[in-house]
Amino acid sequence: NDSHLGKGGVLIAVKDTYITLSVPELQTNCEIVWCNMEIVGHKTVYLSSYYNPKTSNEKGYNEYGISIERASQIRNAFIILAGGFNLPGWDWTTKEIKMHTQCATNHEKNTDILDDNGMAQLVKKQPEDPILLILL
DSSP state of 34: E
Q: How confident is the model at residue 9 (pLDDT cuts 50, 70, 90)?
A: confident
* Rounded Cα gap, residues 94 and 53, in angstroms: 24
pLDDT digit string (tens) for 43-76? 999 999 999 989 999 999 999 999 999 999 999 9
Q: State pTM to two decimals.
A: 0.84
Res 130: pLDDT: 55
- The CA radius of gyration of the chain, in Å to the nearest whole number, is 15
Q: How far is CA 8 from CA 12, 81, 134, in A?
A: 14, 18, 17
The DSSP secondary-structure symbol of 98 reads P
Q: Does residue 5 carry a pLDDT above 70?
A: no
The burial of 113, by beta-carbon neighbours within 10 Å (0-12 exposed, 13-18 middle, 19 or more buried), is given as buried
- Closest CA relative to residue 103, chosen from 116, 88, 82: 88
Is residue 82 within 8 A of residue 49, CB to CB? The reply is yes
Relative to beta strand 31-37, strand 20-22 is antiparallel
3-state secondary structure of 77: strand
